[in-house]
């Protein structure tokens, strides 16, 4: 896991519409960068809907929300349409950002060990430095916890 105070690794990935999006596009704004395992799964859907519900509040405090998973751009397009997700979803099928942010890790599920994305949120400051790391976040409270932190 990367630590607070570290320069956030740069990346350029495709959004749900196939456009290139780079972290550097958001210099001057806070970036809420959250990594999640898979579109349309119960926890990931609840987490995304939490960010969608709070989206206007994030905009009002000059924060950008970006979700990243290994899903394809077409999967993201369907996921965003189904749940009216107004924020950026990026496809990282090659695990460029997922590995750079050290969220591709061993996971245990019902005794089975596999590799996968560990649900993690990074808050990146206006200068591109990691301000806060939230590990193994809970999908139902992630957006609210970040808003509470950012309002301080």
- Kindly report, residue by residue over 81-104, the tens digit of the pLDDT: 999 999 999 999 999 999 999 999
**CB count in 10 Å sphere of residue 18:** 10
Given pLDDT bands bounded at 50, 70 and 90, which one contains residue 5? Answer: very high
Q: Which positions ≥6 away from 42 have C-beta within 8 Å? A: none
Residue 78 lies in a domain: yes
Which listed residue (44, 48, 90, 117) is catalytic?
A: 44
Given pLDDT bands bounded at 50, 70 and 90, which one contains residue 118? Answer: very high
- pTM comes to 0.95
The CATH number covering residue 100 comes to 3.40.30.10
Domain that holds residue 34: 12-151
Q: What is the rounded average pLDDT of the residues 71-78?
A: 97
Say what the pLDDT of residue 62 is: 94
Given pLDDT bands bounded at 50, 70 and 90, which one contains residue 24? Answer: very high
Is pLDDT above 90 for 111? no
Residue 35 lies in a domain: yes
44 labelled catalytic:
yes
- Contact call for residues 150 and 63 (beta carbons, < 8 A): yes
Domain count, the chain: 1
Residue 53 lies in a domain: yes
Residue 3 lies in a domain: no
- Kindly report, residue by residue over 132-151, the tens digit of the pLDDT: 999 989 999 999 999 999 99
């Amino acid at each position: 896991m990367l630590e607070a105070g570290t320069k956030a690794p740069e990346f350029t990935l495709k959004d749900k519409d196939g456009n290139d999006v780079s972290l550097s596009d958001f210099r001057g704004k806070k970036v809420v960068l959250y990594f999640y395992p898979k579109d349309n799964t119960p926890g990931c859907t609840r987490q995304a809907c939490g960010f969608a519900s709070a989206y206007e509040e994030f905009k009002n405090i000059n924060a950008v929300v970006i979700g990243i998973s290994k899903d394809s751009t077409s999967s993201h397009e369907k996921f965003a349409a189904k749940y009216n997700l107004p924020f950026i979803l990026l496809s990282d099928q090659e695990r460029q950002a997922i590995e750079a942010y050290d969220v591709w890790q061993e996971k245990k599920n019902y005794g089975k060990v596999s590799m996968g994305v560990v649900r993690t949120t990074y808050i990146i400051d206006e200068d591109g430095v990691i301000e806060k790391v939230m590990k193994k976040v809970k999908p139902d409270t992630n957006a609210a916890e970040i808003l509470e932190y950012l309002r301080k």
